[in-house]
């Protein structure tokens, strides 16, 4: 065994605290349970949209069920109803433990969860009614944007006050990423949902794409990595390869990510210098990404056999691989020559789904599988079902990503040939969209199995006490 | 005459950019002073390995 591992017990004992803190975890439970419900409901919307690509007349002309109404509902539902809510729930689980204290205010946390549910349910109604600002990822009406800001202030205050009362001086890297997420989200959300309303034309588009890219890069990436840094160590029971390297990755992301959004406007009517800056910073993203991924792989050195029986670890390490791939694609897309082919094609949803589903949702699912049995003092309802949920999401996800990359690349080549009528390029993609639909079915089955497993774990918690666990 | 808010909104966004960059620089320097990149920076990863024994179901 490595020397570092042999000294682990002694260092753990030296670093530990004998006084156990009792965590209520009420807020974490609220967020997790509601987010899983949205994951399931919005999953139905996702499959419906995928079916509409294959059968465009599906559901007729009912205005509430048209593609234009359902697509923003799918995007906002998955991003804010499922993923961000799940991430917030996991944050409420991690932060008190990492700080060695109770959550600053469980009541404020529950109020935040309640407000978040009001926002999501209102968003569903507004988007189905067609009340939509018409901006990508910022479709929610202004009143709901204001509520999101209030909820985020409540969330941020609770987390920062907990961190401020921590027992330990040095903070684990997950705390850094979560604090970064809270501050960056405030900036990204204000720009993307308020400042953007006062701009017009190209300037508005540029601000909007800055928001869209940073919604992934400065909201879902840092909180997703916070979750990965916490649960990979916990699930594998192995210390991180290098905490110093994790901090280098954090600061590299902090200084680099914010400038990349304009790569969505390449070949568009914005300044060449702005495009070049976005390209340069996009390529520099390889530094924090590789620092993070190397750290995770090195942590797992000699421990890969654990993936066989460890459901959370399966999701976590697959998520790391997807994170590596998606963050290799991103800088490559930002090169002008590659962008000229793949931009605006089906390649992009393939790429985006690998980031949001393949990487960050996998991290959130892993955290949920780890957290729920522990906070309910029980065992997981079924490891076999957990494995099935993994394989359904993995197979469906791979089918979806790969098909859209191939189809998108093909679509891009067709678009670059002015001799091909546009409608021919639409008809040509039908086989791609059929595979996309069936891949979506597999992913949805994975979501159903995951949701059922978690709900059965919670509802049957008293029948399977933790003490009976092996 | 309609007021044009394009440039004020962009300057507002640049201001937020600058605020974030300045904040990141400030906290980066502070983290250096607190030893996050020194030889003692590995302690948090050992401490977090046993941080949840007090969890309870309510």
State chain A's mean pLDDT as an integer. 92
What is the distance between the alpha carbons of residues A59 and A264, in angstroms, rounded to a whole number? 33
Nearest-Å Rg of the Cα atoms of chain B is: 22
**Predicted pLDDT of residue A32:** 98
Q: Residue A261 has what pLDDT?
A: 86
**The two structure tokens encoding residue A430:** 């039908």
Q: What is the pLDDT of residue B52?
A: 62
Least confident among A32-36, A116-120, A146-150, A214-218: A214-218
Residue B51: which of A97, A169, A197 has the nearest Cβ?
A: A97
Which residues of B have a CB under 8 Å from any CB of A?
5-6, 8-10, 12-13, 16-17, 19-21, 23-24, 28, 31, 34-37, 40-58
CA angle, A80 then A316 then A114, to 5°: 25
Assess A205–B contact: CB distance below 8 Å, yes or no: no
Could you tell me the pLDDT band of residue A158, with boundaries at 50, 70 and 90?
very high
Cβ separation of A25 and B58 shorter than 8 Å? Answer: yes
Strand partners, A465: A378
For residue B1, give how far its alpha carbon lies from the nearest alpha carbon of chain A (Å). Answer: 16
pLDDT number for residue B55: 44
Q: Determine, for residues B44 and A234 on separate chains, whether the beta-carbon distance falls below 8 Å.
A: no
* Secondary structure of A100-148 in HEC code, one letter for each residue: CCCCCCHHHHHHHHHHHHHHHHHHHHHHHCCCCCCCCCCCCCHHHHHHH
Phi, then psi, of A332 in degrees rounded to 5: -65, -40
Mean predicted confidence (pLDDT) in A258-280: 89
Where exactly are the structural domains of chain B?
13-37
Taking an 8 Å cut-off on Cβ atoms, the answer to whether A258 and B17 are in contact is yes
Question: What percent of chain A has a predicted confidence (pLDDT) above 90?
Answer: 82
Q: What is the pLDDT of residues A129-141, one digit of tens each?
A: 999 999 999 999 9
Residue B27 CB coordination number (10 Å):
17
- A430 CB within 8 Å of a chain B CB: no
What per-residue confidence (pLDDT) applies to A171?
Answer: 94
* Of the candidate ranges A73-82, A117-126, A145-154, B37-46, the one whose mean pLDDT is the lowest: B37-46
**Which pLDDT does position A145 carry in this prediction?**
96
| Confidence category of residue A2, pLDDT binned at 50, 70, 90 | very low
Q: Which residues of B touch A244 (CB under 8 A)?
A: 36-37, 41-42
User: What average pLDDT score do residues A83-102 get?
Assistant: 97
Low-confidence ranges of chain B (pLDDT < 50): 54-58
**pLDDT of A217 higher than 70:** yes
pLDDT of residue B34: 86
Contact A375 B55 (CB under 8 A): yes
* Those residues with Cβ within 8 angstroms of residue A153's Cβ, 6 or more apart along the chain or in another chain: none
Question: Both tokens of residue B2?
Answer: 């309609």
Domains of chain A, residue spans: 22-468
Residue B3: what pLDDT?
A: 65
A470, pLDDT greater than 50: no
Residues in contact with A134: Cβ distance below 8 Å, sequence separation at least 6, in sequence order? none
For residue B58, the model assigns a pLDDT of 35
Give yes or no for residue A155 having a pLDDT over 50.
Answer: yes
Three-state secondary-structure class, residue A421: coil
Question: How many beta-carbon pairs under 8 angstroms link A with B?
Answer: 132
CATH tag, A22-468: 1.20.210.10
For position B51, what pLDDT does the model report?
A: 72
**How many angstroms separate the CA atoms of A206 and A210, rounded?**
6
Q: What is the mean pLDDT of residues A265-277?
A: 89
Distance CA A245, CA A295 (A): 7
Q: How far apart are CA A7 and CA A263, in angstroms?
A: 47
pLDDT in tens, A286-339: 999 999 999 999 999 999 999 999 999 999 999 999 999 999 999 999 999 999
Residue with tokens 């250096």: B32
Best CA proximity match to A333, nearest among A323, A345, A322, A321: A345
Name the residue of chain A whose CA is nearest to B35's CA: A170
Q: Read off the pLDDT of residues A395-409 as tens digits, 9 standing for 90 and up.
A: 999 999 999 999 999
pLDDT digits (tens, 9 = 90+) for A341-392: 999 999 999 999 999 999 999 999 999 999 999 999 999 999 999 999 999 9
| Residues of A whose CB is below 8 A from B55 | 22-23, 25, 97, 374-375, 377
- Tell me the two tokens of residue A264: 């969505």
CA distances from A202 to A95, A136, A271, A282 (A): 41, 14, 10, 21
In this prediction, residue B54 carries a pLDDT of: 47
């Amino acid at each position: 065994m490595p020397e570092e591992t042999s000294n682990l017990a002694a260092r753990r004992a030296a670093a530990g605290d004998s006084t156990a803190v009792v965590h209520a975890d009420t807020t974490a439970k609220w967020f997790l349970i509601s987010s899983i419900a949205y994951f399931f409901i919005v999953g139905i919307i996702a499959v419906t949209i995928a079916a509409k690509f294959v059968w465009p007349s599906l559901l007729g002309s009912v205005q509430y069920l048209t593609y234009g109404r359902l697509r923003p509902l799918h995007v906002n539902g998955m991003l804010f109803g499922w993923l961000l809510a799940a991430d917030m729930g996991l944050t409420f689980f991690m932060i008190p433990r990492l700080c060695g204290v109770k959550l600053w205010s469980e009541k404020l946390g529950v109020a935040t969860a309640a407000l978040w549910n009001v926002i999501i349910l209102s968003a569903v109604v507004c988007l189905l009614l067609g009340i939509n600002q018409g901006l990508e990822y910022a479709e929610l009406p202004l009143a709901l944007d204001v509520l999101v800001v209030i909820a985020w202030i409540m969330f941020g205050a609770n987390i920062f006050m907990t961190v401020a009362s921590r027992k330990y001086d040095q903070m684990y890297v997950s705390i850094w990423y979560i604090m970064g997420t809270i501050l960056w989200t405030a900036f990204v959300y204000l720009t993307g949902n308020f400042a953007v309303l006062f701009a017009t034309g190209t300037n508005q588009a540029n601000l909007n794409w800055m928001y869209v890219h940073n919604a992934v890069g400065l909201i879902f990436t840092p909180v997703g990595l916070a979750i990965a840094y916490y649960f990979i160590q916990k699930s594998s029971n192995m210390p991180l390869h290098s905490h110093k390297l994790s901090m280098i990755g954090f600061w590299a992301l902090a200084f680099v990510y914010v400038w990349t959004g304009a790569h969505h406007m390449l070949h568009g009517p914005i300044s060449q210098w702005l495009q070049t800056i976005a390209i340069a910073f996009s390529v520099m993203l390889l530094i924090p990404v590789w620092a993070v991924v190397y750290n995770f792989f090195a942590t797992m050195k000699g421990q890969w056999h654990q993936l066989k029986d460890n459901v959370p670890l399966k999701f976590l390490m697959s998520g790391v691989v997807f994170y590596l791939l998606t963050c290799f694609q991103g800088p490559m897309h930002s090169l002008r020559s590659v962008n000229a082919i793949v931009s605006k094609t089906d390649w992009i949803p393939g790429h985006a789904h690998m980031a949001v589903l393949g990487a960050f949702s996998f991290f959130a699912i892993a955290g949920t599988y780890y957290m729920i049995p522990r906070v309910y003092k029980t065992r997981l309802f079924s490891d076999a079902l957990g494995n099935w949920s993994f394989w359904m999401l993995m197979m469906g996800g791979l089918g979806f990503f790969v098909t859209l990359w191939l189809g998108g690349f093909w679509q891009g080549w067709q678009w670059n040939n002015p001799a091909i009528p546009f409608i021919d390029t639409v008809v040509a993609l039908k086989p791609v969209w059929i595979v996309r639909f069936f891949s979506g079915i597999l992913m949805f089955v994975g979501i159903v199995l995951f949701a059922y497993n978690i709900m059965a774990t919670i509802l049957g918690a008293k029948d399977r006490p933790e003490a009976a666990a092996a | 005459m309609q007021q044009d808010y394009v440039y004020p909104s962009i300057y507002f966004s640049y201001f937020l950019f600058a605020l974030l960059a300045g904040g990141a620089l400030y906290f980066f320097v502070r983290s250096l002073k607190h030893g996050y990149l020194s030889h003692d920076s590995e302690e948090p990863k050992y401490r977090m390995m046993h941080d949840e024994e007090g969890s309870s179901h309510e």
